[in-house]
Amino acid sequence: MSKALNYLALARKAGRIELGEEPVGAAARAQHARLVIVAEDATDHTWRRAMSFVSGTEQICIKVPFSKDLMGQAVGRSSLALAAFTDPALALAFLKALDQPDRYQAELASLDRRAKRVQQRQQEAKAHQRNKAKGYKGKAGKEH
């Protein structure tokens, strides 16, 4: 199994991916889809539907070089034509694992920015929790 498909399986186990048309559509409408992927042998209707989900948003939609059967096998299903990563770091890792940097250059840059923003927010939240635990007092002298 390819490294990219391993990331697909990992995302499913971590609960960071939506599988199938309805869940992907719901995630895209809620602006939670970071990367929507469509199997190479998916129908034109499925491709158009996926593109309509992300239309007018910063969410990314790509066709991947895997069949529905291979994608399904990676996540424990018989077939999977459409999926959406909801975690930018996992989406970035998946895209990098496709090993086609020229083809997905803009998408890689966008996901890299998003992953860094999420990481920064997580670090800020940890620092806030540490300060809160230490009883840090801000400029006003009030405990936060």
The predicted-structure confidence for 68-103, as pLDDT tens digits, reads as follows 999 999 999 999 999 999 999 899 999 989 988 777
Instruction: Read off the pLDDT of each residue in 118-122 and give the average, rounded to a whole number.
Output: 84
* pLDDT for residue 132: 82
Average pLDDT, the chain: 89
* pLDDT for residue 121: 86
Instruction: Read off the pLDDT of each residue in 18-36 and give the average, rounded to a whole number.
Output: 95
Enumerate domains of the chain plus CATH numbers: 3-131 (3.30.1330.30)
Residue 106, Cβ density class (10 Å: 0-12 exposed, 13-18 middle, ≥19 buried)? exposed
Measuring CA to CA, how many Å separate 133 from each of 80, 129, 138?
A: 45, 6, 13
* pLDDT for residue 143: 54
